[in-house]
Structure 1
Amino acid sequence: MARVSQEHLDARRRQILDGAALCFARNGFHATSMQDVLKEVDLSAGAVYRYFSGKEELIGAIVAEVMGEVRAAFEEAARQSPPPPPDVLVATVLGRTLEARGFLGADGQPAFPRLVVQVWTETARNEELAAVLREGYDAVRAAWTAVVRAYQRDGAMRDDLPADDVARTMIAAAQGFIVQQSLFGPVPVEVLRNGLRALMSMGRTSKGS
């Protein structure tokens, strides 16, 4: 029997994850059955269960993957000298994440923000998913804290306040923006960038600075 390549296995796993994420975002986590996922990805039950044992493992894999992408983006920024300013950095990473997960819901609107909010809600009853989310959040926070420390070393940000406090605040800004998109519809990431830029400009007297 012909041996299946790793590339094929990775592509099949990607197909399942993308299809499941679309189902969850479109119909809600509890309203989506594994049969819905099978239909979406057009695969047999055996093919899907080879990779994932059920909905909980699927959503956990999606969460871990997204958090990993965000963490990697900020770890890359931390290696730059100096790293991009917060308004550019937060908007760029969030925009990249939203664009990478650009699938649409049944209403034709971007579905990823709704999926994120559903995941947060699900963690209240699913301890395993909550653990995955906490682990991802801790890793992302560490990456963002490293960026803040780079700002402080370069003299771009005051260094008399804890870097972790600043990192948590930047994360909160991104999370709040996702919630707004989920509740009120899509908004360009430039809105977040401009808002952060305006807040960063407080105390400056020259126009356009």
Structure 2
Amino acid sequence: MARVSQEHLDARRRQILDGAALCFARNGFHATSMQDVLKEVDLSAGAVYRYFSGKEELIAAIVAEVLGQVHDGFEEEARNSPPPPPDILVASVLGRVLATKESLTVDGRPAFPRLVVQVWTETLRNDELAGLLREGYGAVQATWTRIVEAYQETGMMRPDVSPDRVARTMMAAAMGFLAQQALFGPASAEVLGDGLRALMSVQDHSSVNLLETRSN
């Protein structure tokens, strides 16, 4: 029997994950059966179950992959000294992640944001998935905290706000942007970057007034 190459195995696994993601984004986890997944990927049950034991394992694999991509993206940028400013950083990483999923569409619209919202909903009843999500978000938050500390050390950001709070806020901006896409339709990550850039330009009038008073 001919030996199956690792490249073939990886491609088959990718095919199954993408097909399952489309099914979940289209109908939700509970309304999707393994038969739906088999039909979507046009494979036999044996071919699919060779890689995944069922829906729960498929969901976990999809979530772990996406969180890994997000974390790796921010980790890569965190190695710069200093890291890019938040508007460029978030838009760049989120844009790259979205680009890897742009071929997945449901009714002509990107499937990935819809899938993300489905995952958030599922964590309310699935403790194992909720734990996986907490672990993944915790890793991203830890990376963002280091990035904020680098901003503060180089004078790019005011030092009187907890890095953890800034990290949570930037993550909330990215998560909210994905939720908007799921609800209202696709938008470029540049939209988020431009919005963050505008918010970053807002001046603290109390500080401005204090400086003006001292100069007079």
Aligned to 1:86: 86
The Cα of 1:36 is off from its aligned counterpart by 1.1
Give the Cα separation in 1 of the matches to 2:132 and 2:108. 29
CA offsets, 1:150-195, max 9 Å, x none? Answer: 1112111112221111110000000111111111111222221111
Looking at CA atoms only, which structure, 1 or 2, has the larger radius of gyration?
A: 2
Give the drift of 1:5. 2.2
* TM-score w.r.t. length of structure 2: 0.90
2:111 is the alignment partner of 1:111 = yes
Q: 2:22 is matched by which residue type in structure 1?
A: L
Give the structure 2 partner of residue 64 of structure 1: 64
Q: Secondary structure at the match of 1:161?
A: coil
- Return the TM-score normalized by structure 1: 0.93
* Matching residue's letter, 2:50: R
What is residue 26 of structure 1 aligned with on the other side?
A: 26
Shift of 1:84: 0.9
Q: Number of aligned residue pairs: give it.
A: 204
Structure-to-structure mapping, 1:169-208, within 5 angstroms: 169-203=169-203
Moved over 3 A (4+): none
Q: Give structure 1 stretches of 5+ with no counterpart.
A: none
Rounded Cα–Cα distance in structure 1 between residues aligned with 2:56 and 2:201: 44
Map of 1:76 onto structure 2: 76
Distance 2:147 2:7 in 1: 34
1:66-119 superposed Cα distances (whole Å, 9 cap, x missing partner) = 0000000000111011211100111111111111111110x2111111110010
Match of 1:150 in 2: 150
Cα offset for 1:35? 0.8
What residue identity is the alignment partner of 1:186? P
| 1:125 alignment counterpart | 125
